[in-house]
Amino acid sequence: MKFRPLHDRVVVEPLEEEEKTAGGIIIPDTAKEKPMQGKVLAVGPGSRSEDGKVTALDVKKGDKVLYGKWSGTEVKLDGKTMLIMRESDIMGVLQ
């Protein structure tokens, strides 16, 4: 990828939800919800405090994260749909 986020921004690739329920029912595209999990592809250097010090981010490239349903800005990079969001939009890292 030829994109480097600035400050406390993170680039996340949304992970697609299952297309079938546990009972085997196939969910059509119109009924699917927006994904809330994704993989971190790039992170910025961190946020800058008032005294000029840079605070590193808690997430790193490769982390699988959980974020809010309407978080971030959707962009197309290299033909893929990505989300650019602030670290504060991320609720947590999945283990």
The predicted pLDDT at position 15 comes to 84
In contact, 46 and 65? CB cutoff 8 Å: no
The C-alpha atoms of residue 15 and residue 33 are separated, in whole angstroms, by 12
- The pLDDT value recorded for residue 85 is 92
Give the per-residue pLDDT at 65: 92
Each of the 95 residues of the chain gets a pLDDT tens digit; together they read 578 888 889 999 888 765 655 666 666 655 555 668 899 999 998 888 888 888 888 899 999 999 988 888 898 888 888 999 999 889 989 88
pLDDT for residue 62 = 92
